[in-house]
Amino acid sequence: MKLLNHSTKYFALLLIVLISIWAVIFYFAMIDEVYDSLDDGLENQKELIIRAVKVDPDLLHDNEFGVNNYTIKRTEIDSHTKIKDSYRDTLMYMQNEDEYEPIRILESIFEQDGNHYKIKLITSMVEEDDQIENLFKYLVGLYLVLILSIVVLNNLVMKKVWKPFYTLIDRLKGFRIEKDDPIKQEPTDIVEFKLLNESVERLTEKSRDSYIAQKEFIENAAHELQTPLAIAINKLELLLEKNELSGLQTQEIGAVLDNLTRLTRLNKSLLLLSKIDNKQYLEEERLNVNTLVDSITNDFADFAEHRDMRINVNSSAAVSCIMNKDLAIIMISNFVKNAILHGETGKTVDICIEEHSVTIKNHGTNSALNSDNLFKRFKKSSADSRSTGLGLAISKAIADKYHLQLQYSFEGQHMFTLIFP
C-alpha cells in the first residue's frame, strides 16, 4: 500500500469515528429539543385547563378524550405522595384516520376544592415523527457527503503535498548506475523533501563514483591477473617440452599447471560475475531460445560423444526473450555442460522446450541435490577439483538479472527448469 493511501486510510477512519460521534450527539440533541417543545406545549395546555376548571367546575366531568384531547378524573392520593408530572409515548387509535398514531401523554394531579384530580393530556406526534425521520435521513446524507468530500479533498491535497516524494521515487526506479544520467529533483518548498532530495543526490553520486572505481578495478585486475597467469602457464609448458626433467618433477609441474589453469577459469568466472552484478552487459535484443539451444547443443555434441552420451532436444513451442545474447549463451551452456559433466556415461541429456520454459534433464546420482546450496557461489555438487563452483551461481545471477525463474527438481532425473516471462 502506498504511503499516501496509508495516511488517507487512517485519516478517513479517524474522521469517520469523530463525525459519527458528532452525528449521534447532534441527532439525540435534536430529538431532545423536539420532545422539550412537545412537553412545553403540554405543560402550557395543562395550566390553561386548570385555570379554566377554577372558572367552570363542570370541566371536571370531562373523563373521556374528546375534542380538547384531555381527561379529568377524581383520584385519591396519600398526603405524603409527592405530586410529579410524568410524560410517556404510546399509540392511540384515531377513528378519523382509522389507524394507530403515536402520541405524547402528560399525566399530572392538581387540587380543586379540597379534592385531587388526575389530568391526562395528549398531543399527536405524527408531524414530529416525520420531522425526526427526515432529520435522520438528512443527517445520514450529510454525514456521507461530508466524509466523502473531506476524504476526496484530503486525497487531492495530500497528492499535491507528496508530489515531490513520489516524483523522486519514480526517478529512482528508472535510475541506472551504469548510465551518466543524474536524478532531476522536483522543486519543493517543504524542508524535509529538500533534505531528502539532497541526500539522494549525494548517495547517487557516491554510488556512481564507487561503481566507476569498481569497474576500472575489474578491468585493470583482468589484465593484471590474466597476463601473469598466461605467462606462468606458457613457461611451465615450455619447461615440460624440454624433456630435461625427472618423472617426479614432471608430475609436480603438471599439478602446478592444473592449479594455474583452474585459477585462470576461476578468475574469468569471478570477473564475469562481477560484470553481471554491476550490470555491465547493456546490449539487449529479442532472442529465439529454440535457435539458441540448437546452436549450444551442436557445440557440445563432441563433448557429449566423448563421454559416450547423447543430447536430445524436444521442442513443442517457440520461446523468445529479451536479454543479452552472450549472457543467454553462458546461462544455457552452463546447464548443458553441467548435465554432461555430472551425467551418467551412456545415458542421454534431454532438453525440453515448452511454452515459456526450457528444462535440462540428466541421469546423475540417484538422490536429489541440496537445493539450498545448489546456486550458491563456491558450493560444489561434486568433488571434481576442476570445478570452480561458480557455474550454476553464474546462471542464477543471469536469470535473476532478467527476472527469469530458475527451478530444480528430482524425479528419477535431475531437472533444471528456466521459466521465461
Taking only the tens place, the pLDDT of each residue in 46-72 is 888 888 888 777 777 766 665 567 788
For residues 10 and 129, membership in a common domain is answered with yes
Nearest to 88 by CA among 72, 108, 60, 64: 108
**In which band, very low, low, confident or very high, does the pLDDT at 278 lie, cut at 50, 70 and 90?**
low
Q: Is the same domain home to 230 and 98?
A: no
pLDDT at residue 383, rounded to an integer: 46
Query: Which of 118, 148, 178 is the endpoint of a domain?
Result: 148
* CB distance 284 to 322 below 8 Å: yes
Give the list of residues 6+ apart from residue 102 with CB closer than 8 angstroms, or none: 89, 90, 91, 124, 125, 126, 129
The runs of H, that is alpha helices, within 90-190 are 126-173
Which residues span the domain enclosing 304? 285-419
Helix (H) or strand (E) holding 195: helix 191-241
Q: Are residues 134 and 35 both part of a single domain?
A: yes
Whole-number Cα distances in Å, 237 to 243, 253, 254, 264: 11, 9, 9, 15
Of 88-92, 236-240, 349-353, the range with the highest mean pLDDT is 349-353
pLDDT at 57: 78
- Same-domain status, 373 and 402: yes
Q: Are 351 and 332 in contact (CB under 8 A)?
A: no
Q: Are residues 311 and 406 in the same domain?
A: yes
How much is the CA Rg of the chain, to the nearest whole Å?
46
CA distance 106 to 87: 5
What's the whole-number mean pLDDT along residues 33-52? Answer: 84
For residue 271, give every residue at least 6 positions away whose Cβ sits within 8 Å of its Cβ, in sequence order, or none: 218, 221, 222
> Are both 7 and 133 inside the same structural domain?
yes
Instruction: Establish if 213 belongs to a structural domain.
Output: yes
**356 found inside a domain:** yes
- Give which of 173, 168, 175, 227 is closest to 204, Cα–Cα: 175
**CATH code: domain of residue 329:** 3.30.565.10
For residues 7 and 143, state if they share a domain: yes
Does residue 413 share a domain with residue 290?
Answer: yes
Taking 3-state DSSP, the helix, strand and coil percentages for the chain, each rounded to the nearest 5, stand at 55, 20, 25
Instruction: Tell me if 86 sits within 8 A of 107, measured CB to CB.
Output: yes
pLDDT band at 229 (very low <50, low <70, confident <90, very high): confident
Least confident residue range of 19-33, 234-248, 264-278: 264-278
Which percentage of the chain shows pLDDT scores above 90? 3
Tell me whether residue 181 is in a domain: no
What is the residue type of 389?
Answer: G
Q: Are residues 318 and 382 in the same domain?
A: yes
If one compares 257 and 415, the residue with the highest pLDDT of the two is 415
pLDDT in the model for residue 333: 86
Give the pLDDT of residue 285. 86
3-state secondary structure of 86: strand
Is 245 a member of any domain?
A: yes
Share of the chain above pLDDT 70, in %: 83
User: Would you say residue 158 lies in a domain?
Assistant: no
Angle of helix 247-277 relative to helix 391-401, nearest 10 degrees, comes to 10
Per-residue pLDDT, 359: 92
Same domain, 291 and 234: no
Residues 118 and 201 in one domain: no
User: Which pLDDT tens digit goes with each residue over 103-152?
Assistant: 888 888 887 877 888 888 888 787 777 777 887 888 888 888 888 887 78
Residue 1 has pLDDT above 70, yes or no: no
- Judge whether 166 lies within some domain: no
Exposure of 6 by Cβ count < 10 A (0-12 exposed, 13-18 middle, 19+ buried)? Answer: exposed
Number of domains in the chain: 3
- Quick one: which H or E segment has residue 84? none
Q: Coil, helix or strand for 406?
A: strand
- Considering the domain architecture, whether residues 196 and 314 belong to the same structural domain is answered as no
SS3 13: helix
Confidence of residue 352 (pLDDT cuts 50, 70, 90): very high
Surface-to-core class of residue 166, CB atoms within 10 Å of its CB (0-12 exposed, 13-18 middle, 19+ buried): middle
More confident residue, 363 or 247: 363
pLDDT at 269 over 80: no
